[in-house]
Structure 1
Amino acid sequence: MTPIRCFTHRWRILTVPTGLAAWPVVVAVLAGVTATAQSPTRLSFTEEQAETGRAAYAERCASCHGDNLDDGEVAPPLKGVDFRERWRAESPETLFLLTSDTMPQDQPGALDDATYAALVAYIYQENGTAPRGEVLPDDPDVLAAISPPRWSRGGGGGLAPGAALPPYPMARNPLTSLSPVTDAMLENVAPQDWLLWRRTYDAYGFSPLDAINRSNVDDLRVAWSWSLPTGPNESTPIVHDGVLFIYGYGDEVQALDAATGDLLWQYSRRLPRGTAPSVKRGMSLYGERLYVPTSDVHIVALDARTGRVVWDKPVADREEGYRMTGGTLVARGKVMVGTTGRAGGGNYIVALDAETGEVAWRFATIAQPGEPFGNSWNALPVEERNGGSVWIPGSYDPVNNLAFFAPGNTYDTGPLRDLVSQPEVTNDALYLDSTLALNPDTGELVWHFQHQANGQWDLDWAFERQIIQLPVNGELKRLVVTTGKQAIFDLLEADTGKYVSSIDLGLQNLVTAIDPVTGAKTTDPRLLPGDGETKMVCPHVSGGRGWMPTSYDARSKVVYVPIVEACMDLVPVPDGERGSLSSGVRWTVRPRPESDGNYGRL
């Protein structure tokens, strides 16, 4: 794996109106090091290096900044009076880090360091600095000791001798009053805050604020806007004490003033070469830190006030097939997160110590041979078991001290389709499509409930687990309420996992019966794929209820569910071709029978 270049930084905010992009950016300055008195090294680069930069610019930069560096239609100029005035007093380190951390815009950090240094050399040359001496280094520490270009000023003449500028007006900065997030605050979130993926531990995803209502919703106008990086952005922002924390595609985390939209700090992950960014769905605030999952399967703890990296720890090895597309859950000093992917042996839920980042425990979402329910995998060896991705953040019940997670299914359905004839062996495939109740202190599995045994249709039960108090037989009970892609809601007792009841929204044709005592589901055997026949199954694999989360209003006891009315054909693939599922089928979309042409419903 390509190593990640990491720095210990303090951060200062620079707005760059005439530099590489017209956005506020964060520039890192080495901290914690006592500088010794020494003369800066004179700026130098070679003709060959500038020519290399010219070629790279033409290929990766000219489409935005223009062929001549100052004639782009969608990006600011990289040469001219304004550019030189902005960068004349900055060391090459600053321009190098900005370029390498943010460019190219569609894939920041995609070029090697030598190419970024060559680009900086080319920009310097085009602004009048002549090549001389040695190659411009590509090490930020070395670049920091090189003198700025010191281009001459324009006709304004500069500041008069002896003149002093008044202090720069200090803008409002909500980070100065950002309070540490405590366990008590997470258990009783302030109305104006949104501290977790679904705001609160119970995953309601509901705001109690009522300033916007039926009488004034028509008066809403845009107060400010902020462009997220190009690509899928599925993360829910975090809000605390007037600071908005957002996670953008490409592993870019930004803190904004929620009132004005002003950038307060930015963290851009430098991914190893060959690592494609993936979506993330959530971050967590705890104490004075923001806990961030990354596309190279790390958890990074950032100082919430500065964006500085406090610790950076790997969760699993990406080279083995692991990914992270969910988000973090923090409770009782543990940062919990699930992995995704098709690695042999399955995925994990991992807890890291919030203070140090050290792994506290690790729970396998696929039952292992020799362990409880290890015989539920149709006698497959462990290396041939895969799936159980946790691609949605967990929820937490502080009353019972239980963290709830939801492993999904497997795409390798073929070996599980038909039960082998071996004593005490099943093909239920635990803990796929299950609710897991884990003790966050130890990682112990307290209880589990499998919503769908041997799921052969890619209809996960992978979504949020809401903790709702409802009357059961005249007694108020804490329940875990969840639904899978089939849009069937299961209700379980939160402390034991005992099945209570189910609610079918009527979007599926697969489950024909639900046992009223155990909750076990009977499926239509005619819809089992893999026999060479096309099967029409509702809903589509994207879900009658998909990854877009639900919201629960405890006052009215109403759950708001975004649903999609579409079905699918599971079509056999020709021999030798790879299907969507290893049972030998691929899916296509079809409207629901008797559809009225509307595919979305709330």
Structure 2
Amino acid sequence: MRFSCLVLPLLSLLAACAPSGEARRDGSDWPSYGGIDDNHYSPLTEINDRNVAGLKLAWFEDIQTGGSSLSAPIAVNGVLYYASGYSVIHALDAATGQELWTYDPQSWKVAGQKMRAAWGIRGIAYDNGMVFTGTIDGRLIAINARSGHPVWTAQTIGKDDERYVTGAPWVFDGKVIIGHGGADFAPVRGYVTAYDQKTGKQLWRFYTVPGDPRLGFENKAMEMAAKTWTGEWWKYGGGGTAWNATAYDPKYNRIYIGIGNGSPWNQKIRSPQGGDNLFLCSIVALDADTGEYVWHYQTNPGETWDFNSAMDIELARLEIDGRERDVLMHAPKNGFFYVIDRESGKLISAKNIVPVNWASGIDIESGRPIENPAARYPDGKPAIVYPSPFGAHNIEAMSFNPGTGLAYIPAMDQGRVYIDPAEPLKGWKHLDGQRASVGTGAPPPGVAPDRAATSFLLAWNPVTQSEAWRIPMTGLRGGGGTATTAGNLLFQGNATGKFVAYAANSGRPLWSFDAQTAVMAQPITYRARGRQYVTVIAGSRFPSAVGLPREWNYRTQQWRVLTFSLDGKAKLPPVQQVETPVIDMPDFAVDPAKAAIGARVYAERCSICHGAKVVSGGAAPDLLQSGVPLDMDSFRSILHDGILRERGMPRFEELTDAEIAGLQHYFRQRAHEVLALQKAGQPGAQTHRGLNEGQ
């Protein structure tokens, strides 16, 4: 562990000592990922649609830790907390940006292959004088909010298993709950665990899919769920990880868990005779005190497309058909917007927010989708399915404003070709570093989606299940997370580098700021020293750059915390133009056989961060511009020995010298191709852009 405390002036010392007990619920604080009510909504009005044009930068902080920082900050009693890289927690004076303390759990020392998931931590939480964070190696840590010292640590996953934690903890009623990821990489069975906030003692655990029936079931819910599976699913883990969305409902004393996709994706492998495969792609309501099952609603029975339901869960009270209803709102990957009765778990309404072809609609009586059988790619036939695994809505936070009655969704429209793999559907081969749990094959030649991918900011009326307005974005994943306020404002960043305030009722742009890099994290707003502030983390985490409207170079972009107020006086330093050309080595003789080995290794292990076909989008260095792969000793030290793990570069100790040499030849092959395109003056060749991948 590394801890640092700065020498502070008296005012900052007072701010550092301020957080204690519970956070304020009047909007002055933003204590957790979803704010005070899990709706990414603030009742503050000092900054509003009439004066937001005067919003200015109050302060900023450059983020120097390695790895992704696509994280939601929190703010309590005048102190801003945020996570960078692999759960390095920072506390800053929320009004000035002066750093108060930093805590580094040094996850890179113990995470091993889990670092290959390419995430840091996406959010943290505050309650009862403590900041809570998960780590990529599976720890849940409670940190004293005043001093920055750890209070307790709980290991939430088993020794040497392949789970990891990237999502935010949720805090409620003296408890803290955490899930995990990993089902896209390994045979993992999902669960969530609740701990006592004061001691870190485990209080309860709920598994999201059943295990081996021969070992018995943890509870009646698992016994019920097992009847919806076939074959020997437990050998594949089953999946169902709860890696992102949760919501706490104090009225009914329930915690709602958003459940992920199956492992592997292809149901024909994990559950060959079909079945609903509970509780994949479901919202599961649990008793907050005991973790006992209350109800579930499944968005995709027998899921086979990675249409997980780990996206935002938002709670509200809406007037529907003349009466007030306690509802849960959910826009998962599958393209539909669901309004569900919180008390009973029954579906109230559902409507698609983007064009979909896997189902023609949702049957309200049964709550089940009206599926298109051809979308399940039967009998070895390919199927072009809308949406793609990126989803109609992914991790970028949606928000709900009770004043306008609208939900705001960063939406995408893209298709994908699904087909069974060429090899027999008889097993699940784990390849280190690869998303091996997909269980689908490469599309046949000439089979592709029939339209280009698009994205947009969508304002949706959950009562009428209809669009109110939309703002087109550029590229597949053009819009970041959202936050909305009682001042009739909606804040969202985008992939072009703008942070924008819109009128929440109409979508009219009111203000924007050039952040000098993509702004995809979700904003927050809060009060400090009597003033309202807005904070967001800026930085491009795109693995690949095809489809991006603007190039973000890992070496030249600066991850930053940006904070705004009506009386701000700060300015960002000018952007320094730095040339980072593709390295030309005309005398390097590419061996096609070695390059083929390198292409396979790269696709399996490297592309998740460095981009498809060595086309970087900002999440990691562009390797065609790097001199490191040209020196085998340096290249081996990084890949095999892991000398850059602290900066977020995983170790690949299993790679042989032949595979490392293959990567070198593959990079030179791609460099020759790109340079040839540039010489021919091909459009876009200067940035050698490729497919924009995502979560």
TM range (shorter): 0.5 to 0.7
- Say what the alpha-carbon RMSD is for the aligned residues: 2.8
Asked if the contact 1:566–1:589 (Cα under 8 Å) also holds between the matched residues in 2, the reply is no
Structure 2 residue aligned with 1:279 = 120
Question: How far off its partner does 1:250 sit?
Answer: 2.1
Q: TM-score, normalization: structure 1? A: 0.67
Q: Please give the per-residue CA displacement for 1:428-465, whole angstroms capped at 9, x wherever unaligned.
A: 11110000111121110111111110111112121121
Q: Please give the per-residue CA displacement for 1:158-189, whole angstroms capped at 9, x wherever unaligned.
A: xxxxxxxxxxx63433435524233xx5xx72
- Aligned equivalents of 2:238 and 2:173: distance in 1? 30
Query: Is 2:96 aligned against 1:263?
Result: no
Q: Which amino acid is the alignment partner of residue 404 of structure 1?
A: Y
Structure 2 residue aligned with 1:437 = 285
Judging changes above 3 Å, is the alpha-carbon distance between structure 1 residues 414 and 541 closer, same or farther for their aligned structure 2 residues? closer
Report SS of the residue matched to 1:218: helix
Q: Which amino acid is the alignment partner of residue 452 of structure 1?
A: N
Asked if the contact 1:566–1:591 (Cα under 8 Å) also holds between the matched residues in 2, the reply is no
Structure 1 residue aligned with 2:392 = 544
Q: Please give the per-residue CA displacement for 1:334-381, whole angstroms capped at 9, x wherever unaligned.
A: 110112113546111000111110111111011343512212121325
Question: How far off its partner does 1:540 sit?
Answer: 2.0
How many residues are treated as equivalent by the alignment?
433
Structure 1 residue aligned with 2:156 = 315
Q: Which amino acid is the alignment partner of residue 57 of structure 2?
A: V
Structure 2 residue aligned with 1:251 = 87
Judging changes above 3 Å, is the alpha-carbon distance between structure 1 residues 561 and 420 closer, same or farther for their aligned structure 2 residues? closer
Query: Is 2:299 aligned against 1:451?
Result: yes
Query: Is 2:331 aligned against 1:483?
Result: yes
Instruction: State which of 178, 185, 193 in structure 1 corresponds to 2:29.
Output: 193
Judging changes above 3 Å, is the alpha-carbon distance between structure 1 residues 204 and 532 closer, same or farther for their aligned structure 2 residues? same
- Aligned equivalents of 1:513 and 1:209: distance in 2? 38
Judging changes above 3 Å, is the alpha-carbon distance between structure 1 residues 467 and 493 closer, same or farther for their aligned structure 2 residues? same
Report SS of the residue matched to 1:513: strand
- Aligned equivalents of 1:513 and 1:417: distance in 2? 26
- Aligned equivalents of 1:215 and 1:475: distance in 2? 33
Query: Is 2:69 aligned against 1:233?
Result: yes
Structure 1 residue aligned with 2:6 = 13
Asked if the contact 2:27–2:36 (Cα under 8 Å) also holds between the matched residues in 1, the reply is no
Higher mean displacement: 591-600 or 285-294: 591-600
Q: Please give the per-residue CA displacement for 1:83-107, whole angstroms capped at 9, x wherever unaligned.
A: xxxxxxxxxxxxxxxxxxxxxxxxx
Asked if the contact 2:179–2:191 (Cα under 8 Å) also holds between the matched residues in 1, the reply is yes
Q: Which amino acid is the alignment partner of residue 551 of structure 1?
A: S
- Aligned equivalents of 2:242 and 2:453: distance in 1? 35
Asked if the contact 1:181–1:285 (Cα under 8 Å) also holds between the matched residues in 2, the reply is no
Asked if the contact 2:413–2:453 (Cα under 8 Å) also holds between the matched residues in 1, the reply is no
- Aligned equivalents of 2:48 and 2:57: distance in 1? 17
Stretches of structure 1 that go unaligned for 5 or more consecutive residues are 1-5, 16-168
Structure 1 residue aligned with 2:190 = 347
Q: Which amino acid is the alignment partner of residue 181 of structure 1?
A: G
- Aligned equivalents of 1:548 and 1:312: distance in 2? 29
- The structure whose RCO (Cα within 8 Å, separation 6+) is larger is 2
Asked if the contact 1:282–1:393 (Cα under 8 Å) also holds between the matched residues in 2, the reply is no
- Aligned equivalents of 2:331 and 2:92: distance in 1? 34
- Aligned equivalents of 1:284 and 1:432: distance in 2? 26
Report SS of the residue matched to 1:373: helix
- Match runs of 1:291-330 below 5 Å: 291-317=132-158, 319-330=160-171
Question: How far off its partner does 1:315 sit?
Answer: 0.5
Structure 2 residue aligned with 1:358 = 201
Q: Which amino acid is the alignment partner of residue 42 of structure 2?
A: S
Judging changes above 3 Å, is the alpha-carbon distance between structure 1 residues 517 and 221 closer, same or farther for their aligned structure 2 residues? same
- Match runs of 1:51-130 below 5 Å: none
Asked if the contact 1:251–1:294 (Cα under 8 Å) also holds between the matched residues in 2, the reply is yes
- Aligned equivalents of 1:464 and 1:437: distance in 2? 14
Asked if the contact 2:414–2:453 (Cα under 8 Å) also holds between the matched residues in 1, the reply is no
Judging changes above 3 Å, is the alpha-carbon distance between structure 1 residues 335 and 273 closer, same or farther for their aligned structure 2 residues? closer
- Aligned equivalents of 2:76 and 2:438: distance in 1? 45
Question: How far off its partner does 1:529 sit?
Answer: 2.7
Report SS of the residue matched to 2:160: helix
Stretches of structure 2 that go unaligned for 5 or more consecutive residues are 218-222, 455-471, 480-506, 508-695
Asked if the contact 2:16–2:93 (Cα under 8 Å) also holds between the matched residues in 1, the reply is no
- Aligned equivalents of 1:174 and 1:347: distance in 2? 42
More strand by share: 2
Q: Which amino acid is the alignment partner of residue 244 of structure 1?
A: L
Instruction: State which of 357, 360, 367 in structure 2 corresponds to 1:512.
Output: 360
Identity of aligned residues (%): 25
- Aligned equivalents of 1:257 and 1:573: distance in 2? 53
Instruction: State which of 243, 251, 254 in structure 2 corresponds to 1:399.
Output: 251
Q: Which amino acid is the alignment partner of residue 237 of structure 1?
A: P
Asked if the contact 1:293–1:327 (Cα under 8 Å) also holds between the matched residues in 2, the reply is yes
Q: Which amino acid is the alignment partner of residue 337 of structure 2?
A: F
- Aligned equivalents of 1:287 and 1:435: distance in 2? 28
Rg larger in 1 or in 2?
1
